Structure 1
Amino acid sequence: MTMSAAYGRGASAYARVGIESGVMSASPHQLIVMLFDGALASIRAARLHLQDGRIGARAEAISKALDIINNGLRAALDSERGGAIATQLDSLYDYIARRLIEANLRQDVTALDESERLIEEIASAWREIGSTPN
């Protein structure tokens, strides 16, 4: 194994520990922010892979974004306490997921752009809620 390969593996392991530590110490609000950040990073990666013609990597990045949206953000919704807002967010997350699937099937950068914009708008509002004093 070359020195750079060993360094890369070590850096990757260190990053995983940092992420795991961040998750373990994060508040529920911060965890949602992390989900938004992960979804946005995956969509941005998918766009780069689409532009470079890397089909497998694009599909993997979109799949990761879908997983975060469906099994993270949507799963975190509380319809009892969230009421109409939770219902509307669920519908919006469903729409974003469908647009991401379209982006993957049709190699549609416009669908990726729309998905990113919508998630960024929700994330921005969510971040603002977290910065508001109780």
Structure 2
Amino acid sequence: MFTSVNARAAAAYRRIAAVTSVDAASPHDLVGLLFDALLRNINTAQGALERQDIAAKGEAIGKAVRILEEGLKAGLNLAEGGEIAANLHGLYSYSVVRLTYANLRNDVAALDEVRQLIEPIAQSWKSIKSAEAATARTATALGA
């Protein structure tokens, strides 16, 4: 199959940009990237469902489940994370179940449910970085 030079160049640029952003990211930023990818895959799955593209839906949901299991859930420190880590572990496990259900039943409502559960956590995670930056700016301005 023939793909244009522009399409190949754009794909190569996206791959390089993704690798560069991961290589340059702090651990905090990496979790943010996982949240972004998770939500992007949920949206992709929903779009695929609406187009009745079952293969693309399955691929996107599979990626979302891997992000939850191998990225977000695996990164939790249950021994030292206390109640927050335990609650996130439960939420991620529940989200995997709901995504699996969405995949098996072609259920948009289950995808929406997971999105609504994850979005506030993703936003809160990003706000931690903003709050840290604001605190550092204030400390610098005060000469601390």
What percent of counterpart residues are identical? Answer: 44
Write the mapping of 1:87-98 to structure 2, written as runs, cut at 5 A.
87-98=86-97
In the alignment, residue 103 of structure 1 is paired with which amino acid? Answer: A
Shift of 1:80: 2.5
Partner secondary structure for residue 81 of structure 1:
coil
**Distance (whole Å) between structure 2 residues aligned to residue 96 and residue 129 of structure 1:** 23
Partner secondary structure for residue 80 of structure 1:
coil
Aligned length: 133
Note the aligned Cα RMSD (angstroms). Answer: 1.3
Residue number in structure 2 paired with 1:52: 51
Give a deviation string over 1:36-91, Cα, whole Å, max 9, x none: 00000000000000011000010000001001111000011111231111011000
Structure showing greater radius of gyration is 2
Shift of 1:105: 0.5
TM-score normalised by the chain length of structure 1: 0.94
Ranked by relative contact order (alpha carbons within 8 Å, sequence separation 6 or more), the top structure is 1
Shift of 1:104: 0.6
Structure 1 gaps of 5+ residues are none
Residue number in structure 2 paired with 1:32: 31
Shift of 1:95: 0.3
**Distance (whole Å) between structure 1 residues aligned to residue 90 and residue 77 of structure 2:** 13
Structure 2 gaps of 5+ residues are 136-144
In the alignment, residue 124 of structure 2 is paired with which amino acid? Answer: A
TM-score normalised by the chain length of structure 2: 0.88
Partner secondary structure for residue 76 of structure 1:
coil
**Distance (whole Å) between structure 2 residues aligned to residue 70 and residue 116 of structure 1:** 16
Write the mapping of 1:63-82 to structure 2, written as runs, cut at 5 A.
63-82=62-81
